[in-house]
Amino acid sequence: MSQSINRDDLTLLLADHDPPCLSLYQPTHRRYPENQQDPIRYKNLLRTLEESLRRQYSTKQAGVLLDQFRSLAGDSDFWNHTWDGLAVFGAAGLFRVMTLPRSVPELAVVANSFHVKPLLRIIQSIENYQVLSLSRREIKLFEGNRDVLEELELAQGVPRTITEALGTELSKPHLSVSMSYGTAAGMVVRQGQGSIADELEIDEERYFRLVDRVILEYYSRPSGLPLILAALAQHHALFRRISNNPLLMPNGIEIDASALTIDELRQRAWKIVEPDFRHRLRTLIDEFEEAKSKGLATDDLAKVAKASSEARVGWLLVEAERHIPGRLDQATGRIVRAELGNLNVDDLLDDLAEAVMKKGGTVVVVPAVDMPVTTGLAAIFRF
């Protein structure tokens, strides 16, 4: 029932669903004793959903929609294995529980569509990246952002070790051969028969080629995320020489990642990614300001709403923490405002992001500190 978020889930949530659509978000905790309060907070949010539903629907109708939400509240095994955030969605014929790798603000809303903006920041953020931990023993893959780094479960067909990769073609070890990596001078020291050492070197190259191919096929191409290599210095040289991955970043982490904690690995990775993130964001902001001077961009909510209904928005920057109560008629671009705290409407920024993506536009969710305007959104038009 529980799963981590992926792009297929986002596509499903963005599809048309018969209202009401129930969206619940809350921060959660990974460890005891902090996680003891998580089920209590969930039940409080669940009561909020129930109150909102019963204003518009019968007790029986509300009960059917809430049954699976209630079942989750009593699942002690689930609450003992949460991550940093939780998203739960329900509608007629649909129920999804998603554990999230970053904290999210509490939200319980009943609306005509699902609230997806927090998921966009996780999936589509331009600050996201992947880390390939590569050694002769094994590979691991991580995905993260400035705040969180999580190990990914490798897909079937992706080898975890050199033995899985090469199988019976792997050269047999020889007692007279000793190979030492990672010396103080950064040199590779080999002793023993040259032919055996050569075989091991050939194995390593074949292994790295296979790793490069499957990571590109299964992860880099589908995600489009920059890839950071974390490996010993001598492995960087070989892997970069044979790699065909255009998303492999020129700078990497020159240490065996197993020697680092997950947070130390995240900190080193973000130092590499942040300059590129700042450059990409600055480029997008410059494009917005130039387009605005030509009448091809705006930060006006009503104008963005109208343009979204006409499929004219190519890029939309949205402020992550901003919430503007209301509803968007996606067919006409008409905005229906609402009072703060009204649970029967969603967030206009969320509705706009959804409308833009459905028409083929790109949405980038960023913190307030990175927004070039104060209205909560900035749109660049296609024409």
- Model confidence pLDDT, tens digit, residues 5-53: 777 888 899 999 999 999 999 999 988 898 999 999 999 999 999 998 9
Model pLDDT for residues 283-307, shown as the tens digit of each residue: 999 999 999 999 999 999 999 999 9
* pLDDT beyond 80 at 169: no
- Per the model's pLDDT, the better-predicted residue between 165 and 119 turns out to be 119
Strands 189-191, 297-298: pairing kind? unpaired
More confident residue, 144 or 131: 131
Question: What is the per-residue pLDDT for 187?
Answer: 45
**pLDDT at residue 153 tops 90:** no
Q: Which two tokens stand for residue 290?
A: 């130039």
Of the pLDDT bands very low, low, confident and very high (cuts 50, 70, 90), residue 146 is: confident
Q: Which domains does the chain have, with CATH numbers?
A: 2-115 (3.30.960.10), 129-276 (3.30.420), 295-381 (3.30.1330)
- Residues in the chain, total: 383
CA distance 83 to 75: 15
* Per-residue pLDDT tens over the stretch 321-350: 898 988 898 889 999 887 655 545 678 999
At residue 168, the pLDDT reads 60
Q: What is the mean pLDDT of the chain?
A: 86
Position 150 scores a pLDDT of: 85
Residue with tokens 């007692």: 175
pLDDT score of 297 = 97
Extended beta strands in the chain, E state: 2-4, 21-27, 85-91, 94-100, 107-111, 129-134, 139-144, 149-151, 178-180, 189-191, 227-230, 297-298, 313-319, 326-329, 334-337, 362-366, 377-381
pLDDT at residue 313, rounded to an integer: 97
In this prediction, residue 57 has a pLDDT band, given cuts at 50, 70 and 90, of: confident
Least confident piece of the model among 269-273, 295-299, 368-372, 373-377 = 368-372
In this prediction, residue 3 carries a pLDDT of 59
